[in-house]
Amino acid sequence: MILSTSAIPSELHKARAVSEFLDLDHYDQQEWVTDLETRIDAAPERSAAVCVLDTGLMSGHPLLRTSVDTVDSALDGLGPADQAGHGTQVVGLALFGDLDHDLNSKERVALRHRLESVKIIRGSTDTETDPRMYGKPSPRQENCRRSAGRR
């Protein structure tokens, strides 16, 4: 962070690769993805899995495909494919966390868990899915919601 009230920087941070990555055209992004894909060591098939309930998954995504165990849909008449993109992004976050280090390094990336995805939301403007599909909020989520409402 650089303070705008001073002519002397108080802190300098290395630029984040992910933010730069998102500004690249598709061809340049593909080079980064291909590089990272060649360095991924997927977790063994019997490893624990994280299940993401969202808009589905693009299971053929090159950074995710070797880690996906189950892809399903809980919505009648809809397959598990992610048409909105959000579910795929959440699954990527669940698998890698912050990609910044992995994109900036040339080290191998050893993953410790696998992935499962269940489509429970049609898309970003889903008005058809029964809200009961989302489950009951935890007490912590309720407290956060109430706190946000007071601001």
Considering Cα of 83, then 87, then 66, then 28, what sign does the dihedral take? positive
pLDDT at 3: 45
Contact criterion met (CB below 8 Å) for 54 and 119: yes
- Residue-level pLDDT at 7: 52
Mean pLDDT for 7-23 is 62
pLDDT digits (tens, 9 = 90+) for 45-100: 999 999 999 999 998 999 999 999 999 999 889 999 999 999 999 999 999 998 88
Give the residue from 130, 19, 115 showing the smallest Cα distance to 71: 115
* Helix H or strand E segment including 51: strand 49-54
What digits encode the pLDDT tens for the residues 116-144? 999 998 876 777 777 776 666 677 767 76
Break the chain into its structural domains and give their ranges.
17-150
Q: Is the four-CA dihedral 42, 46, 50, 56 of positive or negative sign?
A: positive
